[in-house]
Amino acid sequence: MTAEVGILNKQGVVIAADSAVTIGGQRVYNTSNKVFILGKSHSVGLMTFGNAEFMNVPWQIIFKRFNNNIKAVPLKKLEDYAEKLIDFVRNDTELHDKASMINYVESFTYRICEMLQNDINSQTNPSMGEDKFKEITKNIILTAVEKNAKAEQLTIGYEYIEFDNSYKAYVENAIRNFSNNSRLGKLFLNFVLDSELFIEFKKLIYYFITQDKDVLPFSGIVVAGYGKDDIFPKLFSYKFYGNVDKHLVFKDDQKVKIAQTGLSGNNTAAIMPFAQQDVAATILNGMAPQFAEEFDKIFQQEGLSQKVRDDIFKRISNYQRANFIIPMINSVTTLTISELAEVAETLVNLTEFKRKYTSNLATVGGPIDILSITYNEGPIWIKQKHYFELKDNLDYILRRQK
């Protein structure tokens, strides 16, 4: 896990990230690089959260290959950089490795089996008759298929038949590997594979794999800075899920553009937390985000109507905007770059502080990398860790200067 933040005003943009990476859900290493510059010819910074790899390739390698692809010619708008990065990830042949795509589909299938098995186990027991077990299993799968068939697909022009032709055998293999030696496991295996339900099961995998579903860890990518024609900074974020048969599964996440005035809903400043956002959201909103859900449960228990609940939340929201959000944004609007960096570092540090003393695993920590990007200066590292001593690597410094 990680804590990251982007802060923008008319002076520029600052992005900051901690260095913690969790391995296997049990060990945390404070050595990960999550903030990158695209190159000295471009006023663009990149930041990653979530999965540090895409189709088994580290993002820092993808960014380097992308930089080589666009070379040293600055693009007009930050949108151009974002679009070209997406096209590069979609078309780069190194990211179309068949073994990686098979592994992705099998891992996805295995996780869906786990999710279905949890639902099935909650409604069955080991002593249940086979006919009843099959009926419950069929209803659970068909209900899931019907529900997800109506959801928006993130891939354009990628039909189920193409997916089925490519991955039918690997979906079957994943089901066989999943089913254990228990009686219910064997029933699930035999019933799904030896009936028409297998077609519906494959459709379910196809729907999940091409939709906005956090079944497997996704990669969050932040693109921030300027194109050569941009006067004020912008920040865009995306979710990258995977690549199947050269069809990229990704989604636009958030977009912020700094404008000259705050009229017509424009932003003159913005604070954008990513990954573990709860601490930053508490500071910005004056209330932990979990409270809204808890309040709603309490209001329902007290018998308040939907109209009354909506009115209460509207009043709370108005109070938050007037007393927390607007004053904070107004303050950020006038800050210098060094002050923006201080705010960004503080928000990451506060998240680390909370995780350190309220969690079994300190999932935020280590050195904080801070990158500023301004119209005049381009990318400037305010803080950047290295896994080596710069003074002992003169050749590295000379290569960077070139």
Give the Cα separation of 197 and 201 in Å (integer): 6
Which pLDDT does position 166 carry in this prediction?
Answer: 94
Q: What is the pLDDT of residue 213?
A: 86
Last residue of a domain, one of 209, 242, 263: 209
Residues 229 and 168 in one domain: no
Q: Which two tokens stand for residue 348?
A: 């990451």
317's enclosing H/E stretch is: helix 306-320
Across 84-88, 125-129, 145-149, which has the greatest mean pLDDT?
Answer: 84-88
DSSP secondary structure letter of residue 266 = -
Amino acid letter, residue 118: N
Residues 289, 344: one domain?
Answer: yes
Residue 360 has pLDDT above 70, yes or no: no
Residue 371 · residue 381 · CB < 8 Å: yes
Say if residue 1's pLDDT is above 80.
Answer: no
Q: In this structure, are 247 and 379 located in the same domain?
A: yes
pLDDT at 15: 98
* Same domain, yes or no: 385 and 363: yes
**141 plus 205 within the same structural domain:** yes
Q: How many Cβ atoms from other residues are within 10 Å of residue 123's Cβ?
A: 13
Which pLDDT value is given to residue 24?
Answer: 52
Q: Which of the residue ranges 276-280, 297-301, 372-376, 398-402 has the most confident prediction, judged by mean pLDDT?
A: 372-376
Read off the pLDDT of residues 168-178 as tens digits, 9 standing for 90 and up.
Answer: 999 999 988 88
With 0-12 / 13-18 / 19 or more C-beta atoms within 10 angstroms meaning exposed / middle / buried, residue 277 is middle
276 and 314 fall within a common domain:
yes
Mean pLDDT confidence for 380-401: 81
Label residue 238 by pLDDT band (50, 70, 90). Answer: very high
pLDDT, residue 402, reads 61
Does residue 202 share a domain with residue 270?
A: no
Q: Are residues 186 and 242 in the same domain?
A: no
- Residue 331 parent element (H or E): helix 326-333
Query: 308-329 pLDDT, tens per residue?
Result: 999 999 999 999 999 999 999 9
Confidence of residue 395 (pLDDT cuts 50, 70, 90): confident
In this prediction, residue 127 carries a pLDDT of 81
Instruction: Please tell me the predicted confidence (pLDDT) of residue 25.
Output: 53
| Residue 131, pLDDT above cutoff 90 | no
pLDDT at 181 over 70: no
The reply to whether 88 and 104 lie within a common domain is no
Same domain (yes/no): 358, 252: yes
**For the residues 84-89, what does the mean pLDDT come to?**
96
251 contacts 151 by C-beta, under 8 angstroms: no
pLDDT band (50, 70, 90) for residue 381? very high
Non-local (6+) Cβ contacts of 20 within 8 A are: 1, 2, 28, 29, 30, 32, 362, 363, 364, 365, 366
Has residue 164 got a pLDDT over 90?
yes
Residues 253, 378 share a domain? yes
Tell me whether residue 245 is exposed, middle or buried, using C-beta atoms within 10 angstroms of its C-beta: 0 to 12, 13 to 18, 19 or more: middle
Domain finish residue from 175, 209, 243: 209
**pLDDT > 60? residue 231:** yes
Residues 273 and 394 in one domain: yes
Average pLDDT over the chain, rounded to an integer:
89
153 DSSP assignment? P
Which has the higher per-residue pLDDT, 219 or 364? 219
Total count of domains within the chain: 2
Q: For residues 271 and 14, what is the distance between their CA atoms, to the nearest angstrom?
A: 10
Instruction: Taking residues 113-117, report their average pLDDT.
Output: 87
Boundaries of domain holding 286: 3-95+217-401
CATH of the domain at 276: 3.60.20.10
Name the packing angle between helices 197-209 and 130-149 (round to 10°). Answer: 40
The model's pLDDT over 49-85, given as tens digits with 9 standing for 90+, comes to 998 999 989 999 999 999 999 988 899 999 999 999 9
Last residue of a domain, one of 209, 240, 263: 209
Identify which has the larger pLDDT, 191 or 315: 315
What single-letter DSSP state applies at residue 321? I
Instruction: Read off the pLDDT of residues 246-267 as tens digits, 9 standing for 90 and up.
Output: 899 999 999 999 999 988 888 9
Q: Once rounded to an integer, what is the mean pLDDT over residues 344-370?
A: 87
Q: Three-class SS of residue 229?
A: coil
